[in-house]
Amino acid sequence: MNNIIVYCETNGNSVAEVSLELLTKARSLAGQLKVDVEGVLIGSNLKDLEKPLFAHGANVVHKVEDARLEFYQTLPHASIICEIFAKEKPQIGLFGATTVGRDLAPRVASALKSGLTADCTSLEIGDHYEKKSDTTYKDLLYQIRPAFGGNIVATIINPDTRPQLATVREGVMKREELATPVKGKVKTWNVADLVKDTDFAIEIIERHVEEKKVNIKGSHIIVAGGYGIGSRENFDILYELADVLGGEVGGTRAAVDAGYIDHDRQIGQTGVTVRPKLYIACGISGQIQHRAGMMESSMIISINTDPNAPINNIADYVIIGDFAEVVPKMIRYYKKNSK
Amino acid sequence: MKPLKIIVLAKQVPDTRNVGKDAMKADGTVNRAALEAIFNPEDLNALEQALRIKDMMPGSEVSILTMGPGRAAEIIREGLYRGTDGGVLLTDRKFAGSDTLATSYAISTAIRNFEYDLIIAGRQAIDGDTAQVGPQVAEKLGIPQVTYVEEVEKIDASGMVIRRRLDNGVEHVKAPFPVLLTVHSSAPDCRPRIARNVMKYKHARTLTELQDATEDYTRMFNDRPYLKIREMGVDDIGADVEALGLSGSPTKVKTIENVVFKAKESKAIDSSDSEIEKLIVELIENHTIG
């Protein structure tokens, strides 16, 4: 009762990174609220996948196993989560903002008539005073997210409905394993009590899980371009710099929308979040949606003709100039000076 | 198999790519009047999927359901220009301030007034990027959902084969009717307007829009019933007012911050050869690169 429940995604033999990040965050929120963290695992062969959950702070792991649950499907997962939430009455429910979490959480929120905030970049605990009713709400979940094209940051609360639901993007929260795993409990649920046959109305015919070819998340050096790069061809020089430095190329949503770069390289609120050692931003103005995905980079270099580009305020080095002139020089002087 | 009745959910959104200072009201809600209004991009991808199904299955009907202020009738007209058969504008002051849950309640309640086999929406709208209304409408109607749709590949009486674009791959699913789809931006773009449809429907109006019209205009309008865009309000759809607007919305906006950039000590350098070489050498020496 009153705990924090994290819906944990599995991909075959492991628990998704975003779920472990959420457990880490849930642990600190639960510390403030003085409650426990619980995880839910759903699948066909979950083996001992509760272990990483305990290692990241879950006190209880709910396991739901059935041959029909090999792959994620909306309706059975929604039924299971609604039922578990109804029985366990968590005060907070967290999901990854993945194609799974963003498919599942709204369906759950609608069924429970609970408030849900999508794509949070930060979660905090705080109070709220409602003037109209002269009521103070203690210990609410502040769900913080950029909104309205990234021009504002909104703090959303659900004063009256429980659980308070949120999805959080992968890579936004830090994952930290406990030195000693929690000696938690496993609670096994009977699938027949949770799902109906009609929940399997949609049939999965085929899946190709394409491992992402591009791994910008794992790259220590990222050269990123914005709309200011101007064309797909103009990105070539960025690939060349990334190549000599041993990094990857990323882009802003505007660059992706314009077709200059592929979607799997998009960095920002609606792309991936990265924390490289070095981030070189070329022709990027620095809308908050983009910055949300890169501002924790250890070092940021901005190359921009506009000295007032917002990204310059978070950059360690600002090179005022045209990327088409500056980037080739960086390549040249790197080749000259590296051993 | 019999032709399908398809409802496309579309939203008129402020163009969030061009936001001025007066974009937000004091209560934290969006001042839509201050921004250019456009057809939500992924809803156009949804419309294209609907029109393709209509091409495959002649006799099928595609209509748009949109919720918004009076000027959102433009969304219905835009649909007619591109090949829809009609549309309904859900408009009422009592809808104002609805979050995704209250919005999906309003839309699903409206949909119950119509026959449908298929509901198609964009994955998300650019003003909120929540991707919640589609799945929540499906839940309220008690029908399955297929999100992140890239293409409807096959249709027969038993259902549709649909390709979905996931985080790291592709999934093909078979879905029965009725079902709700949300379409991803990687789906084909919407076809352009058809010139003869623009000629035919450019005078399509809601009754509210017609209030200021001249007598001649009203006469023409009455002679051509296809020009009438249907409006529905809270009472027409039979919705519970308490479940709408701010009172029906569990999420509240606590605070809104305009984005202020946290200034950090940054070092400005120019693009001269010597400055750039100095920077590169420094980065190599402190092991950031190399």
pLDDT, tens digit, 9 for 90 and up, residues A250-284: 999 999 999 999 988 999 988 888 888 899 999 99
What tens-digit pLDDT sequence spans chain B (290 residues)? 899 999 999 999 987 755 555 666 665 566 667 778 999 999 999 999 999 999 999 999 999 999 999 999 999 999 999 999 999 999 999 999 999 999 999 999 999 999 999 999 999 998 888 999 999 999 999 999 999 999 999 999 889 999 999 987 899 999 999 999 999 988 999 999 999 999 999 999 999 998 888 888 888 888 999 999 999 999 999 999 999 999 999 999 998 876 544 445 678 888 899 999 999 998 888 778 86
| Torsion sign across C-alpha atoms A259, A289, B42, B228 | negative
CB distance from B255 to chain A under 8 Å?
yes
Q: From CA A120, how far away is CA A111, in angstroms rounded?
A: 21
Q: From CA A267, how far away is CA A275, in angstroms rounded?
A: 11
The boundaries of the domain holding residue B45 are 5-248
- Beta-strand ranges (E) seen in chain A are 4-8, 10-11, 14-15, 37-43, 60-65, 92-96, 116-120, 122-130, 135-147, 152-157, 164-168, 185-189, 203-209, 221-225, 248-251, 278-282, 299-304, 317-320
Pairing of strands A4-8, A92-96: parallel
- Whose tokens are 């058969």? That residue is B85
Contacts of A225 (CB under 8 A, 6+ apart): A234, A235, A238, A249, A250, A251, A252, A255, A260, A261, A282, A283, A284, A323
Q: Report the gap between the CA of A203 and the closest CA in chain B (Å).
A: 5
Q: Report the gap between the CA of A157 and the closest CA in chain B (Å).
A: 5
One-letter amino acid at A261 equals I
Query: How many domains does the structure of chain B reveal?
Result: 1
Radius of gyration of chain A (CA): 22
> Does the beta-carbon distance from B129 to A319 stay under 8 Å?
no
Q: By C-alpha distance, which of A264, A269, A110, A196 is closest to B180?
A: A110
Q: By C-alpha distance, which of B163, B139, B9, B8 is closest to A104?
A: B139
Nearest CA in chain B to A74: B145
- Grade residue A151 by pLDDT with cuts at 50, 70 and 90: low
Residue B269 covered by a domain: no
- Whose tokens are 């050269």? That residue is A223
Chain B interface mutation, best of A10, A74, A142, A227, highest count of B Cβ atoms under 10 Å: A74
Contacts of A150 in chain B (CB under 8 A): 16, 259
Residue B175 covered by a domain: yes
Partner residue facing A326 (CB), from B147, B266, B276: B276
Contacts of A301 in chain B (CB under 8 A): 279
CB distance from B96 to chain A under 8 Å?
no
CB distance from B280 to chain A under 8 Å?
yes
Q: From CA B161, how far away is CA A249, in angstroms rounded?
A: 35
Task: Tell me the sheet residues that pair with A206.
Answer: B172
Partner residue facing B254 (CB), from A110, A156, A205: A156
Nearest CA in chain A to B256: A154
Q: Report how far apart, in Å, the C-alpha atoms of B51 and of each of A268, B45, B47, B56, B150 are.
A: 33, 10, 6, 9, 14
> Does the beta-carbon distance from B135 to A103 stay under 8 Å?
yes
Residue B271 covered by a domain: no
Contacts of A221 in chain B (CB under 8 A): 289
Please state the ipTM of this predicted complex.
0.87
pTM for the whole structure: 0.81
| pLDDT at residue A289, as a whole number | 87
One-letter amino acid at B140 equals K
Chain B (98-157) residues lying within 8 Å, Cβ to Cβ, of chain A: 99-101, 104, 126-136, 138-140, 144-148
Which domains, ranges and CATH numbers included, belong to chain A?
Answer: 4-200 (3.40.50.620), 221-337 (3.40.50.1220)
> Crossing angle for the helix pair A323-337 and B273-285, nearest 10 degrees?
50
CB distance from B33 to chain A under 8 Å?
no
Residue B200 covered by a domain: yes
Q: From CA B40, how far away is CA B127, in angstroms rounded?
A: 9
Quote the DSSP letter at residue A91. S
Q: From CA A225, how far away is CA A266, in angstroms rounded?
A: 10
CB-CB contact of A294 with A268 (8 Å): yes
Q: From CA A199, how far away is CA A195, in angstroms rounded?
A: 7
The secondary element (H helix, E strand) that includes residue A50 is helix A50-55
Q: From CA A92, how far away is CA A22, in angstroms rounded?
A: 12
- CATH assignment at residue B128: 3.40.50.620
Residue B282 covered by a domain: no
One-letter amino acid at B240 equals D
